[in-house]
Amino acid sequence: MLPPAASAARGQGKDARLPRHPRYYPLAHDPIVVTGLGVIASVGDHTEAVWQAIQRGQSGVRPLSGLAGLPDGLLIGAPVDAELPRPGEIKVVRLCHHAAAEAIADAAIDWGTLDRTRFGCWISAGMGDTDWFHHRLGWPTLSDSIGWWNQWMPNAPCASVSAAFDLRGPSVTHSTACASGLIDVISAVQSIQLGECDIALAGSGEAITPLIAAGFHRMRVLAQHDDPTRACRPFDANRNGFVMGEGAGMLVLERLSHALDRGAKIYCEIAGAKHLAEAHHVTGLDANSETLSYLISRTLRQAHLKPEEIGYINCHGTGTEQNDVAESAGIRDAFGPAAYGTCVSSIKSMIGHLVNGSGSVELAITCLALRDGFAPPTINLTDPDPRCDLDCVPLAGRRNRVDNALKLSVAFGGHLAAVAIKRWNDAATGFGYPEEDAAAEPMRRAA
């Protein structure tokens, strides 16, 4: 049986719970839009600080210390040093709370008029509390006052955030490696489209833990450089691995009619969202990139976009030879000649690889790239790999006023995900370019 709202969309009359707005769309055709962003990373403790640092090409990578069982300085990474709320909980939970609070505030949620049973929460799994291992090895532990069950379960970040904000709609956690954040967004979009909720918080976070750091070190996939800020070199012939990062990214998603009805400001529309399994290898990628190419093409078809209409691609761009070459090949195959007219960059060169948190942080930055008409750079790209022959925006970002962008995630386990977004160009409900906003500010004040 269809839910009431879906039945209404099929001509059985408007459900009383649907917003009465002149721009009402039937549920099946009501676009999903982004109305709130929250980001924290090594280069800033809130969204605009992170975005400004990325525009400048600022790196947050440095030597790591304080990882139990690992010598200080052995590894480099991009950790978050900001003071976080909820002391005593594992760091990934605290990072997710920080980003969630900012995204909800940015969306200007009026809790007095919102139905909390129609507000969902999708937050990726986190690496659980490893205090048990610390006990066994005689290392210091985080806290004896917090029950392990609150932090060990993979759904701890999602459960904690949804409880803190009393979000009573669907609450879902995915664990799909470094595609997790993007797949959480895709799942939230699909649930809204099905009528299971009207609005959702979706995203992910990551903290550097000794167990994961040691595992990546043993795999020999972590970059090293005398200057840590130059270590992560996506698409560069001299790359030697990726850099671990910390942070979180959250997005508030809702039906367009719902957003308009409550007077929300809109960043962009989620025009297409797909994920597939490469079904190739746990850590390896298919060098032919057939599945990735197919995924990109399907996502663009869903978004009703042609390759030449995509002005920016935020790549997974880890800085490993395998990823960079396969991702470049997939884009070339899907886009054809249009691939060479599109800006393609990786912000992992600055904030590191946030693993579970990477997809949502990078999607949030892609929303800002459209909002401000700016393509963020791939720093440290001084000697481009000829197999990665796209416009990877080397060293410095640039003005790039386009209407459509694509975010890709290529994860361990063969999890591939893509989201296409369209800039929201309605001046009354969206955002103007920065100089346009600055010029309009005196008029707004006078009014």
Hey, which residues does 36 pair with through a beta bridge?
A: 252
- Residues with a catalytic annotation lie at 178, 316, 353
Q: How far apart are CA 39 and CA 331, in angstroms?
A: 27
Hey, which residues does 39 pair with through a beta bridge?
A: 249
Q: How far apart are CA 71 and CA 90, in angstroms?
A: 21
Q: How far is CA 3 from CA 12, 20, 196, 242, 249, in A?
A: 12, 19, 8, 45, 31
Q: How far apart are CA 271 and CA 242, in angstroms?
A: 30
Q: How far apart are CA 105 and CA 93, in angstroms?
A: 18
Asked if 403 and 421 touch (Cβ cutoff 8 Å), the reply is no
Helix (H, G, I), strand (E, B) or coil at 205: strand
Asked if 235 and 378 touch (Cβ cutoff 8 Å), the reply is yes
Amino acid in position 443: M
301 alpha carbon, distance to own chain's centre = 22
How many other CB atoms are found less than 10 A from the CB of residue 24?
17
Hey, which residues does 171 pair with through a beta bridge?
A: 121
Asked if 364 and 407 touch (Cβ cutoff 8 Å), the reply is no
Asked if 166 and 201 touch (Cβ cutoff 8 Å), the reply is no
Q: 439 is written with which tokens?
A: 């010029």
Asked if 41 and 80 touch (Cβ cutoff 8 Å), the reply is yes
Helix (H, G, I), strand (E, B) or coil at 216: helix
Q: How far apart are CA 34 and CA 267, in angstroms?
A: 6
Give the number of C-alpha atoms closer than 13 A to the C-alpha of residue 64, restricted to the C-beta side.
29
Strand pairing class (76-78; 247-255)? unpaired
Helix (H, G, I), strand (E, B) or coil at 403: coil
Handedness of CA 127, 176, 303, 327 (dihedral sign): positive
